[in-house]
Structure 1
């Protein structure tokens, strides 16, 4: 079966009752963990974005503590897993300020990580790429926020 376009889905959903929509949402949530996570964000977390960001930061802290530091292979693998998780959370939010905040926090944790990432060119590249993405997203924000994040970027880079 081939999936139809978003427009066709949107048009079809207009004709459904609220009970039918509720049933469709619940059915969707049963099939994929990401669907359930997105629904959780939309229903419970989206009203308080600051709390959502703090929750993710705590998760990131815990994930960084659990990294196996025996070799850079394991460190890279764990860092990619953390980054994938952060990107997923950013996709749920769709807010540029959340994206900048989480990417900069990730870069800060990576920079502070022991053993130093400077001994691994691949980890250094991950750091540089995420800093570049954070800066790009930052330039779409209000000037006051840009200034605040610029100060944070300078702190991370030094």
Structure 2
């Protein structure tokens, strides 16, 4: 089966009535957890971006509390899992500010971990890559937002 392009799909969707669109969306949500999560975001959380960011931060807090700090190996696995979650949540939002805020929060939480991530080269490098990524993402935002986020980023860099 050849997969159709987005343009073709959009044209075909325009020909469907409301009931058929509803059925397609529900069927799409049944197949993959990501599809259901995206539909949840679009239907319930897209109108309140600040509330969405706070709910994601709460989820991240729970994941950070569950980190096994007995071994750096287990810490690395969990931290990478958290980073994948952040990328997924950012992808749903499609707003650069949401991604920047979540990554800043991620870096803050990494600095608070005990034992320190800076004693492990892999985790320290992961942290530094996120800082560099944040610098690039902040550079494309509006000037006022750049100033605010750069202040937070400088606070993180001093640690």
Residue-by-residue CA offset, 1:67-122 (whole Å, 9 max, x unaligned): 01111100000001111111100000010000110011101111111100111111
SS across alignment from 2:122: helix
Q: Does structure 1 residue 76 correspond to structure 2 residue 71?
A: no
Residue-by-residue CA offset, 1:20-64 (whole Å, 9 max, x unaligned): 111100000000010000000001101000010011111111111
Structure 2: which 5+ runs fail to align?
A: none
Q: Does structure 1 residue 47 correspond to structure 2 residue 43?
A: no
Query: 1: CA distance between counterparts of 2:137 and 2:12?
Result: 34
Matches within 5 A, 1:2-151: 2-151=2-151
User: Is the Cα contact below 8 Å between 1:100 and 1:135 reproduced in 2?
Assistant: no
Query: 1: CA distance between counterparts of 2:103 and 2:34?
Result: 20
Q: Count how many residue pairs are aligned between Structure 1 and Structure 2.
A: 158
Structure 1: which 5+ runs fail to align?
A: none
Q: Normalising by the residue count of structure 1, what TM-score does the alignment of the two structures yield?
A: 0.97
SS across alignment from 2:132: helix
